[in-house]
Structure 1
Amino acid sequence: MSTTTVLKFFTLTSLVSLSLILDTNPSSAAILNGNFDPNLDGWTSLGDVGVQNSQALLKTDTVNDNYAALEQFLNSPAGGLDQVGNGEVFQGSALKQIITAEAGEVLTFNWNFLTNEPAESTDFNDFAFFTINGNPVKLGDTFSEFSSSATPFEKETGFKSKSYKFQNSGTYTLGFGVVDVYDAGKNSGLLIDNVALSKPASSVPEPSTVLGVLVLGSLGAIRRFLHL
């Protein structure tokens, strides 16, 4: 075998290895259908949940006093949602998916809280939230900053980004929800999009570093091959 042939072989091998490393995202399969395109495949829902413009839309307007079912669906502790909004939750809708995450991985998503409730309503403080293994974290409520909405709702927060870092590896139940507080007189909604799980940038090797390692490895292999 000629030296030229050997060089071509090891160059091709290095390039294939590099492409596999750079194109592989170990977390890409952790979230199924995180863009909700074209439906809710991969997710389980409760209440009034659908897809609008490739975004999950959760609404409270066709739900009927399902607070207990909502807690059970999300595996939330009894009365846990009441504490999030500091008011008695009446009904709501939710979406969930079981995911696998590694320690240090980061969950990211975009959200937009929509409502017809009066601004800063203490009595009817509808809110949107997400859950990790049933533990709720508030995203927006009637005390949020709003602008007029082009949706069927009167106002919206506009899309905002949220991130959550997993401290331990394991299987988690990721949930999203929106609820009416005290009554169903005024409705609220939640848009969710771009749900993804990724490794921190510091844990991903720089392409130049990966390339350098592959090149040095190939050169060493070539030298050993030629001296056989």
Structure 2
Amino acid sequence: MKVSSTLAISSYSILLSFIAISPPAHAISASETNNSFATRKILPFGVSSVDGQLETENVDFYTFSGLDTGNLFTVEVNSQSFDPLLGQLSDFGKIQEINDDQSDNNVLPILTGEIPTSGNLNLAVSGLRDINLLCDHFESGQYTLSLKTFTFPRSSTNATLVNGSFETGNFTGWSTLGSTSIETAIFGSDPTDGTSQAFLSTGGGTFNDSITEKFLGLKAGSLNNLGKGQVSKGSNIQQIFTGKAGDILSFDYNFLNDEILTPIIFPDFSFVSINSSSDSSTSSLLELADVTDATSKSSLTEFAEETGFKTFSFKLPTTGTYTLGIGVINVGDIAFDSGLLIDNVKVTSVPEPSFGLLEFSALALLGLWKKIYPK
């Protein structure tokens, strides 16, 4: 069972490429005196993980201190003996976010977000379904609480779009935010170009809309303004490249989902954003597909339905630098995951107009006519 409740601006999870990770630090063991927010264990600067023992009808509270404000974080609980639940709290002990399962296929909890201005990250470890952190559970056992912090991903500009078919086997040339991976045909859907394709998921390490919009250079509220409902978390890739007016940007995509409720209440969707740094009026945020489009019941992937591969194309209006963002995001709940496969991202130049044989012959005849029959 997956449970999540967001009571303030926060993030769910993150996996990033091409970003600096804080130096590893040592782990410590927790005492059993941290069973309330008031008696929480304050972990000193440099500590990145803690080993604990959860007792039945207890909650363990921690504070990671001295963190760099503005950095992003991933925190997760690992246990081989019970089903844990993880919560984030404010400096006043108010619950901000709760996570029970990080995806349809993983019952271990994970949270992500931006380090608060205080530099403190307050967390609580409890058992299955104790979403109010009231010790309402019967779980017990050993666990490890682990924290990683990251600088916010920044992209460099490529002279042209690179690694569009992901044949390098990684995200070279791209920046990533959230749960992303490179897949082959083994995933259950054949790539459209070469042997590799990118995969984005709303399960696992993902981010909320405010951080997603900051990453993609979108205005606050842009994703909600697409009209699908209150968006929650998702994953994205981004590349900055230069292009010429008239060039055609295109890529193939396959939207996947596990939404099984009928009628559809929470229409998860995939999207593309295209922004020009040289022309602020050239800014597009478009939906690619949502759960109502994924009607194929014959998906061989881990998802129940898919759209099959379709092609998106966009004509660049001006010459300049463009930021391409592609993402998938949950709407409303996070009870069911959605995904997006991407392949064959490319920019095709439109050839300059040239005179063909017929045009040349017509001009030659016109010239001959003028010589024979001068005015």
Aligned partners of 1:121, 1:187: CA distance in 2, in Å? Answer: 17
The aligned counterpart of 1:128 is: 270
Give me the identity figure in percent.
Answer: 42
Q: Which has the higher strand share?
A: 2
3-state DSSP of counterpart to 1:80? coil
Consecutive unaligned residues of structure 1, counting only runs of 5 or more, are 1-28, 210-228
User: Relative to 1, partners in 2 of residues 1:31 and 1:150: Cα closer, same or farther, differing over 3 Å?
Assistant: same
Check the 8 A contact 2:178/2:207 in 1, yes or no.
Answer: no
The aligned counterpart of 1:223 is: none
Check the 8 A contact 1:146/1:158 in 2, yes or no.
Answer: no
User: Relative to 1, partners in 2 of residues 1:161 and 1:135: Cα closer, same or farther, differing over 3 Å?
Assistant: same
3-state DSSP of counterpart to 2:212? helix
Aligned partners of 2:228, 2:337: CA distance in 1, in Å? Answer: 18
What count of residue pairs does the alignment treat as equivalent?
180
Matched, 1:153 2:290: no
Aligned partners of 1:138, 1:120: CA distance in 2, in Å? Answer: 22
TM-score, L = length of structure 1: 0.73
1:136 Cα shift? 1.7
The aligned counterpart of 2:182 is: 51
1:74 Cα shift? 0.7
Check the 8 A contact 1:120/1:142 in 2, yes or no.
Answer: no
The structure with the largest alpha-carbon Rg is 2
1:31 Cα shift? 1.0
1:126 Cα shift? 0.1
Matched, 1:40 2:171: yes
Check the 8 A contact 1:121/1:142 in 2, yes or no.
Answer: no
3-state DSSP of counterpart to 1:108? strand
1:32 Cα shift? 0.8
Map 1:111-190 → 2, pairs under 5 A:
111-118=253-260, 122-133=264-275, 135-147=284-296, 148-190=298-340
3-state DSSP of counterpart to 2:223? helix
User: Relative to 1, partners in 2 of residues 1:124 and 1:69: Cα closer, same or farther, differing over 3 Å?
Assistant: same
Q: String of CA shifts for 1:10-67, please: whole Å, max 9, x gaps.
A: xxxxxxxxxxxxxxxxxxx611100001211110000001100110100011135522
Map 1:1-228 → 2, pairs under 5 A:
30-37=160-167, 38-53=169-184, 54-64=196-206, 66-118=208-260, 122-133=264-275, 135-147=284-296, 148-200=298-350, 203=352
TM-score, L = length of structure 2: 0.45
Aligned partners of 2:251, 2:244: CA distance in 1, in Å? Answer: 17
Aligned partners of 2:339, 2:254: CA distance in 1, in Å? Answer: 8
Aligned partners of 1:121, 1:107: CA distance in 2, in Å? Answer: 35
Structure number with the bigger relative contact order (C-alpha 8 A, sep ≥ 6) is 1
3-state DSSP of counterpart to 1:34? coil
User: Relative to 1, partners in 2 of residues 1:204 and 1:50: Cα closer, same or farther, differing over 3 Å?
Assistant: farther
3-state DSSP of counterpart to 1:77? coil
Check the 8 A contact 1:116/1:187 in 2, yes or no.
Answer: yes
Q: String of CA shifts for 1:201-225, please: whole Å, max 9, x gaps.
A: 5x3769x87xxxxxxxxxxxxxxxx
Check the 8 A contact 1:103/1:166 in 2, yes or no.
Answer: yes
3-state DSSP of counterpart to 2:226? helix
The 10-residue stretch of structure 1 (41-50 or 85-94) with the greater mean CA deviation from structure 2: 85-94
User: Relative to 1, partners in 2 of residues 1:113 and 1:85: Cα closer, same or farther, differing over 3 Å?
Assistant: farther
